[in-house]
Structure 1
Amino acid sequence: MQTPTEAADPDVTDTVPARVAPHRGPLRRGLRSGWLPVGLLWVATTAALWFFEVPPTTTIVFTLYLTLGVALPGTLWWRFLGRGGGFFVADVAAGLALGYIGEVFVYVGARLLGLPLLVLAWPVGTVAAFLVIPSLRRHWRGAADAPVPPLLWRWSLTAIAGMTLLWSFKFYRLYGLRYPYNSTPDTDSTFHLALVGEARHHMPMMVPWITGEPLWYHWFVYPEIAASSWVTGIEPQVLLLRLSMLPMLMAFAVLVAVLARKVTGGWWSGVAASALTLFVLSPNPYQWVTGEFYTNLAFSALEDGSSLRLTVWSGPTQTFGALLMVPLMIVLIDRLRERRDGRGWALFAVLLAGVMGAKATYLPLLGCGLLLAVGAELLRHRTLHRGALTGLGITAAGLVFSQVVLFGGTSQGTAFKPLTTLITGGLGGSTGYAAGEVTGRLLVLLVLLLCCWACIWAGLAGLLRRRLPEPAVVTMIGIGVAGAGATLLTGQSGDSQRFFIEAARPYLSVAAIVGLWSLLPAGRFTARRAWALIGFVALGVVVTQVIQAGGSDHLPTVGNTGSYAALTRAVVLPYAALAAVAVAVTAALMLARRRVPAVRGMVVALVVALLAGYGSNASLQNYVTILRDSTHAGWKNVVKGDEIVADGVLEAGRWLRDHSDPDDLVATNAHCQRWNKECTNLHFSMSAYSERRMLVEGWGFTTTAHAEAARLGTWVGHVPYWRHEILADNDAAFRDPSPQRVGLLRDRYGIRWLFVDESQDNVSPRLPEFATERYRSGVAAVYELPSA
């Protein structure tokens, strides 16, 4: 096993010779084949999706398109631009990410031409080029000297990918595909579905739920889903809520492992990094629950940037950006190791272009990381690092372009608001401890949060025992520090500042694993040491369980504890107990190292594993919660929360989609979306299911709404509509229809269709006198306006 120092030499890392397998019988070869775990995972995924109302034929069609239309062309170009690529699993996972970018860019052009199926030029053109051009044909095979992953490594990563599938049950059971089971998702799902519908029919995209509002947003995931829908014929809702995120999640888990192996040269560092990224959360020593909102989203009591929370599905932009960022970092490693390769920089630029439009959080963090690498090299060698400078220049250009062209120079409501994450977080919000935003109590929460982060990424301490890490690791540390800082120092009306630490999590995790490797004697990872580390992780889980069992199951508040001082004790003491055990274990290990040879040189590494066990308990409990809730309330089609989609809106919306022109403008009476019994402007279901632009439906989550929220000092969901005349003209036609009012919608605004939700209290029974009813389902009706 190579040490991180040895792996810094690219010739050592990348040219491990392939192993020659001895002759074996067909059955044994099959059992040892890398295809077996992949095949079993696919079968399990197909079965799970079938249970959640996705027919196997739909999954097969989607798999065929994903394989032949996205992953295949992406893998071929990955191998070409990467000069041969690496081992098969790494090539395909990175190729899938690159394939998504090619698909998005080609679809945008195809949609601009009005020929969405022209997106097939991406796979067809690529395959033709790699068949016809002699110099490209060799890329159908992987590199001859590519390393062969150990069989247990493949099974381990398959298990990790399978855990993402199991975790997805938490989402699937709450987000159904038909009424009433689709009626109670969060507003984010209809928001994203509306934008997928917009991408299916229009380019450039606009905000579809109000007229005249530009889309200043990271929108690349929507053309990807739209392209998949056009080619496969699968409904956008099925893609968004069932199919599209799964391969992104699984490929992300694999690529984090590939990235860690690239840095350290050790196979098992990859498994550890992937597990750390996905499953080690903020320790949660409380027996009481922090609040349904946080448990539903898989948040711990204190923010941890979890890569497995419901926003992975209800916020697909983060999932898409997270996937695309990892191969970008893989490519960057070689560039930072001063490999002068024009193709490599071209690949870096293409990946960065994809990340740029996938999620806005990544480029600023990458710029900070590269800036730290430049500064570190300047201090260490008194010279400017050429690779880091080049990467920084490309990143800066992409950042400027994205801010001007994609985001219109807007901040989307993000501003300097220190400790907002603590104020709105699970611990501070559920207990009321953050009420009044008192500085002293916020500092208590801040200390607890920093201690939680220290438990997750304790392996970073190992980097202090060696000389300054290589620029790639320094860059990851810079990304992590920037992500943590942005999370603590900024705030956004939708709490989106949390995405900064989520974006940084994989790179902090990889850097922590590099540090952990440095803590092992001679930097060597053996089976005995692996079992010792796993044992201390298990010990950390047990310790946390014991502390939880000794606590109260009643949520403490200032009301039931009597004072903020007593509430402080209830909040702090469980964490203090965890810290005390860690100190005691450390002391015991220090004493034992003189008598137990196996402990010698392993003290810090074992303590790191103990702290990781504290965080692993939180992840374990999330899985237990899935099992418990599913057993008690049902494994699927659970209706829970406020109604977001009214009865019949899905059917009426699809009828309108099938019988109207994509450029038709629609008027609706539905504006009020109930959330926690309050009326909000976050109503998007009419545009989501009709895939048509609305004169005015909701108006939340837009650039103007965020600006108005900042100006008025209120939440974005409570902002009144700023174009009063349009809203008045729209609502008058429904509330008190007349030939003049209906005609005004038709003649001034170009309205042809009315999409009505009769459960709202602003619809006159006389409306059919002035418009022709064309379709009805549940409380939803579609009317066509008479011609002038």
Structure 2
Amino acid sequence: MQTPIEATLAEGNNAAPADTQATAGRRRLLTAGRLPPAVLLVATVAVLWCYEVPPATTAVFALYLVLGITLPGTLWWRCFQRGRGWFVADVAAGLALGYVGEVFCYVAARLLGQPLLVLVWPLATVALFAAVPGLRRYWRSDPGADRPPPLWRWCMTGLAAVPLLWSVKFYRIYGLRFPYNSAPDTDSTFHLALLGEAKHHMPMVVPWVTDEPLYYHWFVYPEMAATSWVTGIEPNVLLLRLSMLPMLMAFTVLVGLLARKLTGRWWTSVAASGVTLFVLSPHPYQWRVGEFYRNLAFSGLDDGSSLRLTVWTGPTQTFGALLFVPLTLVLVDLLRDHRDGRRWALFTLLLAGVMGGKATYVPLLLCGLLLVVAVELLLHRRLHRGALIALGPAVAALAFSQLVLFGATSQGTALKPLTDVVTGGLGISTGYSTGEVTGRLLVLAALTVFAWVCIWAGLAGLFRRRLLTPELIVLIGIGISGAAATMLTGQSGDSQRFFLEAARPYLSVAAVAGLVALLPAGRMTVRRALPLLGVALLGIVVVQVIQSSGRSSVPNVRNTGSYGNLTRAIVLPHVALLVFAVVFLVALLVARRWLPITRGTAAALVVALLAGYGLNTTMQNVYLVLQESRQGGWRNVIHGSPLVSEGTLEAGRWLRDHSSPDDLVATNAHCVTLEGRCSNLHFSMTAYSERRMLVEGWGFSTTAHEEAARLDTWVGGVPYWKPQILADNDAVFEDPSPETVDVLRDRYRIRWLLVDETQSNVSPILSTFATERYRSGVCVVYELPRS
């Protein structure tokens, strides 16, 4: 008979296998490849639900995204690449390629007047890859493909979740219904108006003002228009909630995969995506720049942040950024081996998508390729065939885009050196750029370059061991040309900032590749990672100390006494950062004899310190968003000046449902009040009605940009260049009569009036000459009598 002790021991021995099995099961769950994306999916649904997107809507969107875009794109990606890689890599690149196929198919379908023919793209692809025996193998991942370790999967999933978490900053102030949709920026209604135009017309024109051709990178609008037709989801929900998220998540993963392809190391994927997202311009001041500038560059100096608010309010940039990464992945393969015809076809197809996705990318690509040719010629006395071949389609794409898509116009972009620092946060907040004095602008430019050195200091490692391969040279060329274009050009809407934003991921990848060269044998071990992380933390602390010792109020010439004192107040905190970095490097060199960890890693540790300077900016902005959200609310926050009147959404949708897409509409709404003055950037009537206007606003059009450049003024302040049309339009609202009605109806073919009763003087007798059909809030829809 067993004693109690023996029985207890026996029970424990019998339970051990079960405990072991449970532990092994939990371990398998944590290391499973499907768990990280599943967690991200659940989190995405939850966040969207919190911000007024029901799970059913998210499910419909996700279903079309997977079956209508990602599936055909992944199959073609594998076919063009002549193989099947790791599943997530294929899917991320396949999503980008799927978007390109969808856009081209939708443009053709819309030209035929049958937008749902866009479904030919996924259906034909699935049928082809199911029917052709040689293509069936692309349905499965390659079991022998190099697979990432579990920690990498969780890290990259976490990085892919960053845009979701950061989207809270956007979602909380960009509501979907009144009054929470009343105060967006002007860009959002601008893009929504173009999305409505893409839903109903091809070729597209500028819909908010008559007789104005659309010279713009417009490919993202057919993408969202196609999604709206297939899923039935409202355009504003796609623009303000759904469509940008998969683009941003895939972009984050693809940047990491580009680093992995170049270096052959998994850890560089996490580092490259991390630098792209988190390492920003140092801000060693206790005071903050204005919110508008924090949304652009977080600190007072432009850093091209990939999480600035424009990635949500500017879908063209987000779309172009996504498409350009797989293009670069393919280019890396072609620079290594230019003899693969399928990859050249894939390169050309992606280039066609990038060409109409965002104007900034093709010129940067061209500069990168030219740098490869020049370096190879100078260093090795040979022409690089891969780069030369790639120059052919790149030049053709640039010529086509400039002559056809952009109508040989500059969109107001011109050679205006240092415009970026003139209109930047540091110069405007302190008044230091007032008067555009060259000496002061050069100071701001020098501080900006120092900030860039902090972010991308790892580039120095590329020159240490002759690692300037053509693949890395093209990234450096893209980066340098983007930074140079930002500094040397100007545009009336400050769009020169997009050049640096476009270049940022490629500078980050190249900097991480340089960091590899600064580590012994290029290996990242726990023993090396911990000191690097510790030194990055030290960089954060250093910035905090400098901030706390400085002034809390924004310096300007009045409270400092002179521009000389203001210069010192602006420059000295950055000088302190530089001095500490130099002292730190000297200390490392001295300590090498008795600190083994510093041997061979001193330069890498300095890079980590400089990165810490920029990480502080991100950390403080995260804290600021949390603080503002706790104090002002996590959602449905009315923020800024009202730009959309009550009833605009409902009246616009009623008009959309009761009129023809070819109907031309007249409105009395022309003005939005920005900083106390009337601006021509009024687009909400067009945006919510999805109808073309005789004249609503007239800003953000090619002619407006050209007028702004001619008058040397802001694009939102230029007067309308067709005053007679504006007078004819407004007469029916302010002084209606049979004559004014006849002019609109017979001369301009107007059938509908969309009135905002808070805009201009609306005559009380308007209803005598037009029939009121719908009213919501302060907005009224009238129908003109037929002749």
Partners of 1:515 and 1:711 lie apart in 2 by 44
Does structure 1 conserve the Cα–Cα contact (< 8 Å) formed by 2:298 and 2:618? no
Counterpart residue number, 2:592: 593
- Distance across 1 between alignment mates of 2:720 and 2:458: 50
Per-residue displacement from partner, 1:708-747 (whole Å, max 9, x unpaired)?
1111221111111111111110011111000110111001
- 1:731, 1:762 within 8 Å by CA — same for their partners in 2? no
Q: In the alignment, does 2:79 pair up with 1:80?
A: yes
User: How many Å apart are 1:383 and its aligned residue?
Assistant: 1.2
- The alignment status of 1:386 with 2:398, answered yes or no, reads no
Q: Which runs of 5+ in 1 are unaligned?
A: 1-21
* 1:523-672 paired onto structure 2 within 5 Å: 523-672=522-671
Task: Check if 1:766 corresponds to 2:765.
Answer: yes
Contact 1:648 1:777 in 2 (8 A): yes
Q: Which amino acid aligns with 1:492?
A: Q
Q: How far apart, in 1, do the equivalents of 2:170 and 2:78 lie?
A: 35
In the alignment, residue 513 of structure 2 is paired with which amino acid?
V
Q: What TM-score do the two structures reach when normalised by structure 1? A: 0.96
2:312 aligned partner: 313
- Paired letter, 2:167: S
Correspondences of 1:467-482 after superposition (within 5 Å): 467=466, 469-482=468-481
Corresponding residue SS for 1:674? strand
Deviation at 1:39, TM superposition (A): 0.6
One-letter amino acid matched to 2:624: T
Match of 1:353 in 2: 352
Deviates more, 1:296-305 or 1:724-733: 296-305
Post-superposition offset of 1:98: 0.3
Equivalent in the alignment of 2:505: 506
Contact 2:421–2:444 (8 Å) recurs in 1 = yes
Give the equivalent residue in structure 2 for 1:143. Answer: 142
User: 1 CA distance for matches of 2:625 and 2:76?
Assistant: 40
1:487 counterpart SS class: helix
What is the rounded CA distance, in whole Å, between the counterparts of 2:162 and 2:284 in structure 1?
Answer: 23
Distance between the aligned counterparts of 1:551 and 1:250, measured in 2? 38
Counterpart residue type for residue 238 of structure 2: L
**Structure 1 residue 23: deviation in Å?**
14
Equivalent in the alignment of 1:230: 229
In 1, Cα distance between equivalents of 2:122 and 2:268: 34
Deviations 1:184-234 (A, max 9, x none): 000000000000000000000000001111000000000000011111111
| Matched residues, number | 767
Aligned to 1:722: 721
Q: Deviations over 1:398-431 (max 9, x none)?
A: 1101111111001100000000000000000000
Give the letter aligned to residue 360 of structure 1: A
* Counterpart-to-counterpart distance in 2, 1:85 and 1:755: 54
Aligned residue in 2 for 1:175: 174
Provide the TM-score with structure 2 as the length reference: 0.96
Is 2:103 the counterpart of 1:110?
no
Match of 1:16 in 2: none
Q: How does 1:187-336 map to 2 (within 5 A)?
A: 187-336=186-335
Please give the alpha-carbon distance, in whole angstroms, between the structure 2 residues aligned to 1:689 and 1:269.
Answer: 45
Q: 1:614 Cα shift? A: 0.3
Shift of 1:26: 5.4
Indicate the residue corresponding to 1:684 in structure 2. 683
Q: Which amino acid aligns with 2:560?
A: T
Alpha-carbon distance, 1:677 to partner: 1.2
Q: Verify the 8 A CA contact 1:536 1:609 in the aligned structure 2.
A: yes
- The letter for the 2-side match of 1:734 is F
Match of 1:462 in 2: 461
Q: Give the distance between the partners of 1:295 and 1:765, measured in 2 at CA.
A: 45
The alignment partner of 1:215 has SS state of coil
- Structure 1 or 2, whichever has the larger Rg, is 2
Instruction: Output the CA distance in 1 between the equivalents of 2:30 and 2:463.
Output: 43
One-letter code of the match for 1:684?
F
Matching residue of 2:515: 516
- Report if the CA contact (8 A) 1:754-1:784 is conserved: yes
Query: Paired residue for 2:734?
Result: 735
Partners of 2:338 and 2:385 within 8 A in 1: no
CA distance in 2, matches of 1:561, 1:86: 60
CA deviation digits over 1:84-114, x for unaligned, max 9? 1421111000000000000000000011111
1:14-25 matched pairs, under 5 angstroms: none
SS at 1:747's partner residue? helix
Deviation per CA, 1:167-195, whole angstroms, max 9, x where unpaired?
A: 11110011000111000000000000000
The 3-state SS of whatever aligns with 2:298 is coil
Give 1:46's aligned amino acid: V
Q: Secondary structure at the match of 2:660?
A: coil
1:778 Cα shift? 0.4
CA positional deviation for 1:468: 5.2
User: Could you say which residue in structure 1 is the equivalent of 2:693?
Assistant: 694
Question: Is the Cα contact below 8 Å between 1:651 and 1:777 reproduced in 2?
Answer: yes
Q: Return the alpha-carbon distance in structure 1 between the equivalents of residues 42 and 655 of structure 2.
A: 36
1:25 Cα offset (Å) = 6.0
Identity across the alignment (%): 69
Question: Helix, strand or coil for the counterpart of 1:753?
Answer: strand
Distance 1:141 1:380 in 2: 44
Aligned to 1:5: none
Give the match's secondary structure for 1:31: helix
Encode CA deviations 1:598-629: one digit per residue, 9 max, x unaligned: 11000000000000000011111111111010
- Cα gap change, 1:215/1:152 in structure 2, threshold over 3 Å: closer, same or farther? same
Q: Give the drift of 1:24.
A: 10
Identify if the C-alpha distance between structure 1 residues 506 and 85 changes in structure 2 by more than 3 Å, giving closer, same or farther: farther
SS in 2 for 1:782: strand
How far, CA to CA, are the matches of 2:63 and 2:22 in structure 1? 32
Displacement of 1:358 after TM fit?
A: 0.2
Task: Return the alpha-carbon distance in structure 1 between the equivalents of residues 588 and 711 of structure 2.
Answer: 57
C-alpha separation between the residues in 2 aligned to 1:603 and 1:29?
39
SS in 1 for 2:775: strand
Q: In terms of mean alpha carbon deviation, does 573-582 or 309-318 score higher? A: 573-582
Cα RMSD after superposing both structures: 1.2
Write out per-residue CA displacement over residues 362-406 of structure 1, whole angstroms, 9 at most, x where no aligned residue: 000000000000111112221111100011111011110111111
SS at match of 1:755: strand
Determine if contact 1:539/1:613 at 8 Å carries over to the other structure. yes
Shift of residue 27, structure 1, vs aligned partner: 4.8
Partner of 1:785: 784
**What's the offset of the Cα at 1:295?**
2.2
Contact 1:298 1:622 in 2 (8 A): no
